[in-house]
Amino acid sequence: MESGVKRTQRDYTLAFKLSVVDQVEKGDLTYKQAQERYGIQGKSTVLVWLRKHGRHSWGSASSRLPMPVPIKKSSPSPAPLTPEQRIKALEVQLREAKEKAQLFEAVLDVLKKDYGVRVKKAFGQVLSQKLLPGLSVSRACRHWGVSRQAYYQQLQHQQQCRTRSDTVIELVRSVRLRQPRLGARKLHHLLKQPLHQANVSLGRDALLDVLREAHMLVQPRRAYHKTTDSHHRFRRHPNLLKEGPNQVTPTGSEQVWVADITYLPTDRGFVYLSLVTDAWSRKIVGYHVHDSLHTEQVSRALKVALKSRQTQQALVHHSDRGIQYCSNDYQEIHRRHGIACSMTDGYDCYQNALAERVNGILKMELLLHRPADLAQASRMVQQSVQIYNQERPHLSLKLKTPDEVHRASIAGWIRPAIRPS
């Protein structure tokens, strides 16, 4: 995001604010470092977040001042060496310096020959950072066995790469303000136009190299919590999406919906998120955050989805064999709206893979910080669902957003029904 663009508090999601506060309180970053790393505008913005969302007291700054460091008394200087002692000491230093130089030359040869390590960049850093005071470029190039022209060409190339990397990192940070764990392929798709405007040519693999060097690659996370109870007395319905002669395959939106329940940890215990997703567009059409697994709470996600339904096509509702989906109250909603019920026919999570995938995207990419309570979890889920539906490109949708595909499909179904009189 360009530095000239002014941001407001709405540009930062609640999950992002909580993540910054958590990093500062753990000591990973100071509030000024967090402000610089994430491009947060306003000198006191991070402090305001700390006072509002922090788990420690950030009221008075005097309680956090560092303790004064006691000044040690200097010890008396040793007696000066005689000329003979000085000569012997210099001979020992010279001998050790030669051994050290030979050791480093041998290590460099091994690194270049056996491991293929390129040391040109390190050589340029030694000179640019002036790690050896008094060493001229000419003598350094002569010791290293390269020409001054080659050194300056390499220096110019490194400067161009640094400038390009800085531009790319700034653009990546602007995207990750709202989508902090977006992968490299989707980032590359979203940044094509901004990179072109900045006259930067960058492929996907080069983007991965820039993110890797800046320690901005997304690390995988794994978690498991059981929310499905399949041992109950209610009727289980057949799997209409399973391969076979009677398989139902969606050709547009609002033909197949998949549903699932996942958990969200909070500071006050677990809460649960019920989701209903359109199988064609991958859009989350209904969701609800609740503190129990009662059917009445779980069914609210389906009721929300039905309120936003725009067509009257034949609809299949697919889920696992959880007791909530098999219950009489949930099935009554199906009968009232003419929905065909489909369920997994075993304990294989791959039979409801799409719903599981949407759960993972929300929890592993957007809902990164633990909310304080149910109200805060509901707010974070609302923001995350909006980002998922309207901003996040989807690989299975040819890098379009679910909302784009959903609207296009609905428009294509409604338009033929409208005929001029």
Of the candidate ranges 43-47, 118-122, 224-228, the one whose mean pLDDT is the lowest: 224-228
Task: State the pTM of this model.
Answer: 0.63
153 pLDDT more than 80: yes
Which range of 116-120, 212-216, 272-276, 364-368 scores highest in mean pLDDT? It is: 272-276
* pLDDT, mean of residues 63-70: 47
376 pLDDT more than 90: yes
Sign of torsion, CA 201 203 208 213? Answer: negative
Confidence of residue 379 (pLDDT cuts 50, 70, 90): very high
pLDDT of residue 70: 54
Residue 346 within a domain: yes
Q: What percent of the chain has pLDDT over 90?
A: 26
Confidence of residue 67 (pLDDT cuts 50, 70, 90): very low
Residue 283 within a domain: yes
Residue 250 within a domain: no
Confidence of residue 1 (pLDDT cuts 50, 70, 90): very low
24 pLDDT more than 90: no
The enclosing domain of 304 has a CATH number of 3.30.420.10
Confidence of residue 339 (pLDDT cuts 50, 70, 90): very high
Q: What is the pLDDT of residues 176-213, one digit of tens each?
A: 888 888 888 888 888 888 888 888 888 888 888 888 88
Residue 289 within a domain: yes
366 pLDDT more than 90: no
Instruction: Provide the domain count of the chain.
Output: 2
Give the residue with greater pLDDT, 405 vs 26: 405
Domain boundary among 58, 78, 93: 58
What is the average pLDDT value for the chain, to the nearest integer?
A: 83
Q: How far apart are CA 89 and CA 231, in angstroms?
A: 84
* pLDDT, mean of residues 355-372: 88
Residue 359 within a domain: yes
Residue 70 within a domain: no
pLDDT of residue 250: 92
* pLDDT, mean of residues 369-395: 92
Domain residue limits at 363: 256-417
pLDDT of residue 212: 85
Residue 75 within a domain: no
For 40, 189, 204, the CA distances from 211, given in Å and listed in that order, are 20, 15, 11
Crossing angle, helix 148-176 and helix 120-128, to 10 degrees?
Answer: 90
pLDDT of residue 74: 61
272 pLDDT more than 90: yes
* pLDDT, mean of residues 399-416: 85
262 pLDDT more than 50: yes
Residue 365 within a domain: yes
